[in-house]
Amino acid sequence: MDYETLANCFVGVFKNYKTNKVKVFAICHLRNDFERFIKFLETNVKNKEIHISYNGLAFDGQISEHIYRNRAELAKLSPREMAIWIYTKAQRTIELSRNREFHDYYENSMSFKHIDLFKLNHWDNAAKRSSLKWLQFMMDWKNLQDMPIEHSFLVTKQEELNQIINYCINDVMSTAKIFELSKKQIQLRLDLTKEYKVNLHSASETKISKELFLSILSEKTKISKYILKNSRTKRNIIIVKDIILPYISFKTKPFNELLNKFAGLSIDPKNIKGVFKATLSVSGVKTHFGLGGVHGAGKPGIYNKNEEMIIMSSDVVSFYPNLAIKNGWGPAHFPKKEFLELYEGLFEGRKKIPKSDPRNYVYKILLNATYGLSNSEYSFFYDPQFTMQITINGQLSLMMLYEMILTEIPGSIPLLQNTDGLETIIPKEYEDKYLNLCKKWEEITSLSLEHDKYQKLIIADVNSYIAVKEYTKIEKNVYETIKNESPHFIFKEENDEYYYAKAKCKGRFEWESISQYNVSTLHKNKSHLVVAKALYYYFLHNINPEKYISSNTNIFDYCIGKRIKGATHFVKTCHFDGNVTEEKQQKTIRYYISNKGCKLVKHHNSDGRSWQLEAGKWMQTVFNKYEDKEWAMYDVNEKYYIDLVYKEIEKITRENALKQLTLF
């Protein structure tokens, strides 16, 4: 469902997710569906039907509730007066959201049940914030459209009303698509709501963690939810040397200097952003540290396993939860014994549940969110010292393993270091020693490691790489079954034996989950996805970029998305037969690079500054509305995309990109 509220016109559209039947309601001087709309809402309430929306709890649901509760008074007004009344309420609701104030109606007090896809997928979080228009871009929606008429505009013609209705229907249809993509997440929340008697219909993972942990901990400790919910441990200062684990120690100067930097810290919990940064340089690799975590990468390049060298990957199992469990840590205001029993019970319970079971996912949420919530003053988990115990000791513990490998295995080459693991090239003859060092580290820390071997690692930077696991032998019938299942499986036949390997793409190389419209990646940016695909097929399948790009005729893979807010706007500038035309564009636009076309420019409203979205000679074709054409008619400038592929290849190989196929 979705509403559009204008100064003198209201439009509501509902689509039944089972029957696909669409109902349209309008209230204005051109059309008055008020009585029909109220009967529809009354039926929703009577049948306990759920309103599924995008940001509905903060907007559409507020409007529904206000109309429903005041329906008797509204019935006395003219259609024009009704529309103005609804518009006034809508503007107040928007203002409350803008000022981050509480809305008039809480979810649990509403007459209607709601599933808010915006909140459920945590797209209201600053790191993932996404508008419905951006999600339309990410889903390759055929009609990426902003509201065609300003909300303050006075609707006077039937044509204008039709425009608004069609726009609203388009938004409802794209919301329905997100609903389809989110079905597993929705069903899980419905099941949890039923089991724990807590409304989790629109709950993000963070909210699920808070609500379920609160419920379970309250039951275990016999402390009321109210008391637990209002508990916090506030600290004025954290002396880091007092929280570093006693087993943390190093043998070499660079690592000891790092330890001393951490140990010398006194942290003000109210001011931690950017207060600590350190860099460790070992074997030509820079590893960066902060209060939140560690990351580092060797030189960009293609690293292959061979007869002498192997690529080892080691990750700490459930690193942060296990640090807390093994060292007896928890937020200081929680009863220690009960908290640790509960926390460890969740960890042990998860190990017994298959990953395909939704409960495994729930346990994972409960285990992982505790750490993050402990650093939020708005959470009853709040204890910033607990956060720092985990993040600082986590980094230092992992660096102990890093030092052990580098100092005790001759010829080892560090490749990647991140929050919970390491990737390293080592001489094959030292594999047993590597595993023994890992076992020694496990005994010191009481933590566990999981190991993988890679046949190839293609690194652009710490956040962007392709990792290819070693081949696994499979039976011929399995080989035939899964060969076309996913392009992220790599296959080979050798002497009538069959093998496959899994490839993992990260950062700029990620594309498969984006192509499949996985809800976990819809907040990202799929712009010119063809580049990521071309790089994958080049590095893993030896397919020349020109050949791959000429074979990919999915126009959406070439599209670029841009969004704008504040005192700026987009303009399309076209030159034709000596004439120049300028056309203002919507706030979220989709375009591709074409041989002919126009230039897209971003203008600042107040000072007149402007920037080309694509500098230089490149022309653009706006593609907000899909047009089905023969491929040649799109007029895609393939050279632009090929150049982007080769620029990335050159960054990785540091050689002439045209000679790269000789590496294989």
DSSP letters spanning 24-45? EEEEETTEE-HHHHHHHHHHHH
% pLDDT > 90, the chain: 84
Is residue 67 over pLDDT 90? yes
Cα(264)–Cα(267) distance, integer angstroms = 10
Pair of tokens at residue 23 = 């109902």
Output the pLDDT for position 485. 67
Pair of tokens at residue 509 = 């190389």
Output the pLDDT for position 372. 85
Is residue 636 over pLDDT 90? yes
Cα(202)–Cα(107) distance, integer angstroms = 10
Distances, alpha carbon 615 to alpha carbons 515, 556, 574, in Å: 27, 21, 15
In this structure, what DSSP letter does residue 661 have? G
Cα(374)–Cα(362) distance, integer angstroms = 19
pLDDT in tens, 458-474: 999 999 999 999 998 88
Closest-CA residue to 400 (of 532, 533, 247): 247
Output the pLDDT for position 20. 95
Output the pLDDT for position 492. 84
Band of pLDDT at residue 222, cut at 50, 70 and 90: very high
The pTM of the full predicted model, rounded to 2 decimals, is 0.92
Burial class (CB in 10 A: 0-12, 13-18, 19+), 191: middle
For 459, half-sphere exposure in the C-beta direction (CA atoms, 13 angstrom radius) is 19
pLDDT in tens, 386-431: 999 999 999 999 999 999 999 999 999 999 999 999 999 999 999 9
Looking at residues 209-214, what average pLDDT do you find? Answer: 92
CB 340 within 8 A of CB 325: yes
Pair of tokens at residue 555 = 């126009």
- Packing angle, helices 205-221 and 336-351, rounded to 10: 120
Cα(206)–Cα(218) distance, integer angstroms = 18
Q: What is the DSSP string of 413-482?
A: EEEEEETTEEEEEEEGGGHHHHHHHHHHHHHHH---EEEEEEEEEEEEETTEEEEEEPPEEE-HHHHHHH
Residue found under tokens 């080989």: 479
Phi, psi values for residue 50, rounded to 5°: -100, 135
| Of 386-395, 544-553, 569-578, minimum mean pLDDT range | 569-578
Cα(196)–Cα(254) distance, integer angstroms = 51
pLDDT in tens, 426-457: 999 999 999 999 999 999 999 999 999 999 99
CB 142 within 8 A of CB 96: no
Cα(55)–Cα(594) distance, integer angstroms = 36
CB 16 within 8 A of CB 52: no
Cα(59)–Cα(61) distance, integer angstroms = 6
Closest-CA residue to 445 (of 336, 325, 314): 325
Cα(551)–Cα(67) distance, integer angstroms = 54
Burial class (CB in 10 A: 0-12, 13-18, 19+), 220: middle
Output the pLDDT for position 272. 85
Distances, alpha carbon 557 to alpha carbons 15, 137, 523, 602, in Å: 30, 11, 17, 23
Pair of tokens at residue 146 = 């902003």
Beta bridge partners, 263, equal: none
Band of pLDDT at residue 657, cut at 50, 70 and 90: very low
Q: In the chain, what is the greatest distance between 2 CA atoms, to the nearest angstrom?
A: 87
Is residue 573 over pLDDT 80? yes
In this structure, what DSSP letter does residue 225 have? H
